[in-house]
Structure 1
Amino acid sequence: MVLGALFVIAYGLGRLGKLVKLPAIPIYMLVGLLASPHTGFFPLNFDSGDIELIAIFGLILLLFNLGLEFDQDEFFGNAGRLLISGGTYIVLNMGMGFLFGELVGWGTREALIIAGMVGTSSSAIITKMLIELGRLANNETPAILGATVIGDVFIAIYLAIVSVVLSGKTEFWPVVLQLSIAAVFLVVMFAVARWGARLFSALFRTRDDELFTILFFGLALLFAGLGELIGVTDAIGAFLIGLVLGATRFSGKIERISIPLRDVFAAFFFLNFGLALNIAEFGSVAWLVIIAVVLTVVLNVISGELIALFNRLDARDGINIAAVLMNRGEFTLILATLSLAAGLNQKLEPFAGLYVLIMAILGPVLTANSERIGAALIRPRRRPSKKGRNPVLDEEIGLVDAVTSGQQSDEGDPQDEPSREAVDRVVEEAMRQAGADDSRKQN
């Protein structure tokens, strides 16, 4: 009953959030925060441990769908251009994020996690915002989607590195071995997705939707467990099997069925994260979160303009790119969950929670208003007029041309033919006005 009440409350707040185009992530977190035993605002006593297992399913399906939606054709067809655009975004945001994390002083492992939190966008929120705002046909949208494709590839590599870092191994050869296992796992799964998807397609030849659903959900859990077993986290295992199934001819059906499942289980994940938060701990990280938010906005504006420059877009398109890529969400919370399981600094949890609450609201608001912001900050370029031409003269000469062409098109009526004197008077008047304009400019 308690869980049902929480979801009904989440539905009501979600309806209100839709009015201002807010994503569901901060809504679910807010409901969990209100129901948290640390808060005392909610009249029901609720233990977050009751839904931890379901929350893990939510994490797995979030990463599974991320891999499922990965566009291999776009990546392999335009790898060079995408690497320049997406790589610029990742290097700038992750690099400065890691530097910020080091300055925080919690430790190098914590700095690596903070870099991922502030340096990676939410592809789910980005795609949803582009659809809801009707911007799929905009000039800057291919550059945005290209950057998210590279971001998804980077997440796979980043998670593999993070899994080794969080394992606590410090000796050289065990670390090299773990990184090698992760690299082999990545390469094999990418190769299967590229050239062996037909083998997996054969598994899904059934008209029974129930068996079809059981199969892909089972594969997601199986590979998540395999990833955990070989030491690269369950998240990356789920992502990679999603990548493989996304390359099969049944990807559309899998996505159609899996999205409602993802949304329900992901709600448990965000709700459970909110339940673990303590508002009293926000004060200890508030100033760090404010710095992180300002840093995110500044870095996204810079990288957005650079991406626009690389793709031969104008500054207004750069503002749109910056606003859309600024959206943060589920991956930040996933990193916080992984870091807490590894025993890192406890302040990462309230830091991630407050950061996502702010960015999941600020990002969509800026995205929805980015075109107006760009119009207010950047004036459109004016085409330069041809040197030596006067607009008054051009207008009068155009009138003469129109009169003359009218004469040529009506040869059957010589009485309508303009006299030579009339044409000369028009030209003289135009020249006189042009000279008068030039004299006023000189004075």
Structure 2
Amino acid sequence: MHTATVFIELGSVILVLGLLGRIAGRYGFSPIPLYLLGGLAFGTGGLLPLSASEEFVATGAEIGVVLLLLMLGLEYTAADLVTNLKAQYPAGAVDFLLNAIPGAVAALLLGWGPVAAVVLAGVTWISSSGVIAKVLGDLGRLGNRETPVILSILVLEDLAMAVYLPILTALLAGAGLVAGSVTLAIALATAGAVLFIALRYGRLISRFVSHDDPEKLLLVVLGLTLLVAGIAQQLQVSAAVGAFLVGIALSGEAAEGAHTLLSPLRDLFAAVFFVFFGLSTDPTSIPPVLLPALLLAVVTAFTKIATGYWAARRAGIATRGRWRAGGALVSRGEFSIVIAGLAVTAGIEPGLGPLATAYVLILVVTGPLAARYTQPAVERLGAVLARRRRPWAPEARIPAQGTAAGGASTNDGPAGGASASSASTNDASADGAEPVEDPLDEESGQPLDGLSR
């Protein structure tokens, strides 16, 4: 009977996820907010709380995190990471300062303590690679000049996760300074060793893993990933980091084949992960933190726009591309939830999960809108400000003293008698504003004040 109940609950959840994914695809936005809302509906305090399948969903959520980081690692090679780290580390530093600090400050202002500050700093710092990549593809911007800058920032954030997650894991476990330092040293040494091996022997590893039979390739890659993730978890390094490093170590045909085979599994278990996070959050706990989440979302949306603008300007991108780069980075999503999920599991702060849920719900919806409309909105605002800065003023168009009524100058000749109307029009055009038309007399149709173009 228990097994039948588990099947019914799991079947219902997965079916609902599929329908929600269809709705999101139909209207062209990320399904993440719908998955979170689905979890809230099935969780404690929701409409239809789950009970029998909760343990299975929890295990599936952990597998979802591992697969998310594995697939992320498959996107990059060790050479790509080293190249991006050397070329774009200033942009990564600016990204961290502008976007992690607001989260840390918000946690301290809410009285949550230093550990929660580290958690919320990560939630506000890391952009959603999956959402951003999809948005860039939908908008046809993958070939734009600013796109490599956007991707470089995302790569640096992903690489920083290999350092951040072990630190966070140690803090959440209550490890002291010595134990935390040892954990961080192990993580850095492991990451460095994997990068070195991938650079030197990546082809040999990929050749060993690769196989013409999709079944054997899937089993080897998935088994290796779960094994390394488990060992990393045992060493307090984080299972997600272990999976990420496995993805980096694979390249070529092995990486491409694994990516194709694992994508459906990743999508399934990632959806289960978002549902599980929703299950862990009581919907009644969200309204009290909705205002702080909204304020934090507004602040960090602008700091992400500033980050992209600065990085694109540093790369020599034109003004329009700078604004597009900034708007594209606004979305937060899967990794913000991963970070918050670790804190929720550790029981650090009851309000952290609801705040992170509301925060991600806001930015995962508004992020694609920011990517689409930031640059046009800024251009419209600039045009409006330009018009206000140079309004039409009749007194500015009255001929100067010494100019005859017929328009000829009595002092300086034609050169000195250039009309203020022409100068004003030229300045406005150069500034990007619309030329200001001379007012006409309603009866005669002639320009007022005896002025003409």
TM-score range, shorter chain: 0.7 to 0.9
1:111 pairs with 2:117: yes
RMSD of Structure 2 on Structure 1 (CA)? 2.5
Measured in 2, the distance between the counterparts of 1:437 and 1:325 equals: 52
Contact 1:21–1:364, Cα closer than 8 Å, also in 2: no
Q: Can you list the C-alpha shifts for 1:335-355, whole angstroms capped at 9, x where unaligned?
A: 122112223112111111111
Q: Can you list the C-alpha shifts for 1:76-103, whole angstroms capped at 9, x where unaligned?
A: 3354431122322122212333223222
- The aligned amino acid for 2:186 is I
Measured in 2, the distance between the counterparts of 1:183 and 1:77 equals: 18
Residues 314/242 of structure 1: CA separation in 2 closer, same or farther (3 Å cut): same
Contact 2:167–2:180, Cα closer than 8 Å, also in 1: no
Residues 78/5 of structure 1: CA separation in 2 closer, same or farther (3 Å cut): closer
Q: Can you list the C-alpha shifts for 1:122-164, whole angstroms capped at 9, x where unaligned?
A: 1111111111211111121111011111111111111122122
Contact 1:55–1:265, Cα closer than 8 Å, also in 2: yes
**How far apart are residue 284 of structure 1 and its match?**
2.5
- The aligned amino acid for 1:372 is P
Secondary structure in 2 aligned to 1:313?
A: coil
Residues 215/47 of structure 1: CA separation in 2 closer, same or farther (3 Å cut): closer
2:166 corresponds to which of 148, 160, 166? 160
Measured in 1, the distance between the counterparts of 2:115 and 2:417 equals: 69
Runs of 4+ in 1 over 6 A off after TM superposition: 43-46
Contact 1:33–1:277, Cα closer than 8 Å, also in 2: yes
Measured in 2, the distance between the counterparts of 1:176 and 1:322 equals: 35
Q: What's 1:426 paired with?
A: none
Q: What's 1:390 paired with?
A: none
Secondary structure in 2 aligned to 1:196?
A: helix
Contact 1:35–1:46, Cα closer than 8 Å, also in 2: no
Residues 71/318 of structure 1: CA separation in 2 closer, same or farther (3 Å cut): farther
Q: What's 2:104 paired with?
A: 98
Q: What's 1:16 paired with?
A: 23
**How far apart are residue 304 of structure 1 and its match?**
2.3
User: Which residues in structure 2 correspond to 1:20-419 (within 5 Å)?
Assistant: 20-39=27-46, 41-42=47-48, 47-170=53-176, 172-245=177-250, 247-379=251-383
Which consecutive unaligned segments of at least 5 residues does structure 1 have?
383-433
Residues 46/436 of structure 1: CA separation in 2 closer, same or farther (3 Å cut): farther
Secondary structure in 1 aligned to 2:286?
A: helix
**How far apart are residue 234 of structure 1 and its match?**
1.0
- The aligned amino acid for 1:373 is A
Question: Number of matched residues?
Answer: 388
Residues 80/9 of structure 1: CA separation in 2 closer, same or farther (3 Å cut): same
Residues 42/317 of structure 1: CA separation in 2 closer, same or farther (3 Å cut): same
Contact 1:197–1:248, Cα closer than 8 Å, also in 2: no
Q: Can you list the C-alpha shifts for 1:249-300, whole angstroms capped at 9, x where unaligned?
A: 4211111111111011111111111222211101222222122111211211
Contact 1:71–1:149, Cα closer than 8 Å, also in 2: no
Secondary structure in 2 aligned to 1:439?
A: coil
- The aligned amino acid for 1:26 is P
- The aligned amino acid for 2:22 is R
Measured in 2, the distance between the counterparts of 1:437 and 1:64 equals: 73
Q: What's 2:400 paired with?
A: none
Measured in 1, the distance between the counterparts of 2:379 and 2:172 equals: 45
Q: TM-score, normalised by structure 1?
A: 0.81
Secondary structure in 2 aligned to 1:121?
A: coil
Secondary structure in 2 aligned to 1:101?
A: helix
Which consecutive unaligned segments of at least 5 residues does structure 2 have?
1-7, 387-412, 424-450
* Percent identity between the two aligned chains: 31
Measured in 2, the distance between the counterparts of 1:328 and 1:253 equals: 28
Residues 282/86 of structure 1: CA separation in 2 closer, same or farther (3 Å cut): same
Measured in 1, the distance between the counterparts of 2:171 and 2:332 equals: 23
Contact 2:167–2:183, Cα closer than 8 Å, also in 1: no
Secondary structure in 2 aligned to 1:62?
A: helix
Contact 1:61–1:238, Cα closer than 8 Å, also in 2: yes
